[in-house]
Structure 1
Amino acid sequence: MIGMALDEDAVPAHGVRSLPLAFAAGAAVGVLGGMIGLGGAEFRLPLLISLFGFVALAAVIMNKAMSLIVVLTALPARLAAVSLAELAAHWTVAANLLAGSLLGAWAGASWAVRMRTATLYKVLAALMVLMAAALVLTHTTALGTLTLPGSAQAVAGVMAGFGIGVVAAIMGVAGGELLIPTIVLLYSVDIKTAGSLSLVVSLPTMLVAFARYSRDGSFAVLRANLRFVAVMTAGSITGALAGGLLVGVIPDLVLIPVLAIVLLISAIKMARHS
């Protein structure tokens, strides 16, 4: 079974493994993510499957590896914008979410490696719809806050963290699209600080999912496509830097619906994938 999986990952039935195309695709994803203040991994996943021909689990593992590097790159820049002292003041928020997200990441990765490929495609399609909804909600509405008693807030944080950890592990994303509005809503943290806190929560959560995926035979896809991963990651980082400079060039009322539609179209194609 492992041999068959590796053969499928190494020699796809369709797709082009051009390194210049990988860099360009990564850059395009990075620009989109940078313009909305996110990593853009949810846009990279359908490209790995549809354009480059990786099967679902291999694409998720590669997306996770690239997302991890992008987050590691983004963290110093975020720390320059929001000081360690400011983040330390909210350490209980990170701890509360991590209590659930670390378990969710392990569970999500475990479920992903055990799913039939056809089922995983459908799950990914459903999660893309969720990401589209979160994107629209976060960027086009004014987020309020929930006033919960301390114990209820803690329980809600663990539950939300678990769900986000599962989604992030199965899609191979950092989860900022879900973490940022959760932090704002549950803990009344301003959105700038929430963005930095989301990276603090994302990094260990991603490492746990990555560790779980490393125990599966399909993890060998990273070794087989190391140059491809490196080039596409470089493109993603370059694009993210460029996208950050383009923030505000396209109004959110135009950009966000377009990106949501792109995710929905990708979800439809993913659901039909075989």
Structure 2
Amino acid sequence: MATDDDLVPVRSTQSTPLVLGAGACIGVLGGMIGLGGAEFRLPLLVGLFGFAALSAVILNKAMSLVVVLVALPARLAAVPASAVAEHWTVAVNLLAGSLLGAWAGATWAVRMRGSTLYKVLAALMVLMAAALLVTHTTTLETLALPPWVEVPCGVLAGFGIGVVAAIMGVAGGELLIPTIVLLFAVDIKTAGSLSLLVSLPTMLVAFARYSRDGSFAVLGANVRFTLTMAAGSIAGALLGGLLLGVFPDLVLIPALAVILLVSAAKLARHD
């Protein structure tokens, strides 16, 4: 069960330029690899701004939701709606698991002790680093499973992704995109759009579960902080998109993975 220390920010005041700048840096990192950057935001919320684990997760979830809502129209404009609609069954298959996973993950997060949640978050950040390396430095081959195996695998994968996304407060694109490519043989560009369609309702379910707990009060107490960092993240993501391809993946991706691993080590040692 979450303690009072998990439900309120350790520091109640933050410099607006610092918050905006931090959000922009996170957005640039995410934009350069085509993601929202929420996995990089989480350790900053804990380490730089002093929020307790559960508070950081809820704030991260709120900001991820704002970023996805802004990114969705742009992403759908970049990929023809017909191409996305052609694979609607993929989204339904994953949602069948991810919605349940999101509710379960949020429930587990609010019931964990703060010290346990820090360690869980650290382990999940290592998972994100591995997913980042695999997705961006290897060629993903489809598994070509028969439908009777593909569908339950999709539900199970969706459930796991929903749990991870809810506990970390992220959209889950880092895991959804390779899953869609591997399981359903969808091209990676369309997979990115499908991942947003799965992420949005999944995040809303986790958000609804968090809203039932007293920990949700942290969001109301930090509305300005949340909107400022989200605005920075969106602006940074636009800039990061323009920088896409400027840095070779063989340099950028390992560097970002190291950032996640260092952040994971710091979270694991957090009391």
**TM-score normalised per structure 2:** 0.97
Q: Distance in 2 between matches of 1:30 and 1:233?
A: 9
CA contact (8 A) 1:5 1:218 kept: no
Q: Matches of residues 19-98 of structure 1 in structure 2 within 5 Å?
A: 19-98=16-95
Summarize the Cα distance change of 1:185–1:2 in structure 2 as closer, same or farther, 3 Å threshold.
closer
- The whole-number CA distance in structure 1 between the counterparts of 2:118 and 2:13 is 20
Residues 58 and 221, structure 1, Cα contact 8 Å, conserved in 2 = yes
**Equivalent AA in structure 1 for residue 256 of structure 2:** L
- How far the C-alpha of 1:4 sits from its partner, in A, is 3.2
- In structure 1, the residue corresponding to 2:8 is in which secondary structure? helix
Aligned length: 271
SS in 2 for 1:145: coil
- Among candidates 177, 187, 193, match of residue 196 of structure 1: 193
1:110 aligns with 2:124: no
Q: Which runs of 4+ in 1 moved over 4 A?
A: none
Q: Which runs of 5+ in 1 are unaligned?
A: none
Does the 8 Å CA contact 1:103/1:162 hold for their aligned counterparts?
yes
CA distance in 2, matches of 1:249, 1:88: 32
Output the CA distance in 1 between the equivalents of 2:50 and 2:201: 29
Matched with 1:9 is 8
Q: Distance in 2 between matches of 1:273 and 1:4?
A: 17
Distance across 2 between alignment mates of 1:105 and 1:97: 12
Structure 2 Cα separation of the partners of residues 264 and 132 of structure 1: 7
Q: Distance in 1 between matches of 2:151 and 2:88?
A: 13
Structure 1 letter corresponding to 2:26: V
TM-score normalised to structure 1 length:
0.96
**1:1-274 maps to which residues of 2 (within 5 A)?**
4-5=4-5, 9-10=8-9, 12=10, 17-274=14-271
What one-letter code is carried by the residue in structure 2 that aligns with 1:212? Answer: R
Q: Report if aligned partners of 2:3, 2:113 keep a CA contact under 8 Å in 1.
A: no
- Aligned-pair distance for 1:2? 8.4
- Following the alignment from structure 2 to structure 1, what is the Cα–Cα distance between the partners of residues 90 and 223? 36
The one-letter amino acid paired with 1:142 is T
1:223-247 per-position Cα deviation (integer Å, ceiling 9, x unaligned): 1011000100000000000000000
Residue identity over aligned pairs, in percent, reads 75
- Deviation digits for residues 22-46 of structure 1 (CA, Å, limit 9, x no counterpart): 1000000000000000000000000
SS in 2 for 1:53: coil
Find the aligned partners of 2:234 and 2:156 in 1 and give their Cα distance. 31
2:4 maps to amino acid:
M
Deviations 1:60-92 (A, max 9, x none): 000000000000000000111112211111000
Counterparts of 1:222 and 1:20, CA distance in 2: 20
Three-state SS of the structure 2 residue aligned to 1:142 is coil
- Aligned AA (1:243): G
Other structure's SS at 2:145 match:
coil
Offset at residue 214 of structure 1 (A):
0.4
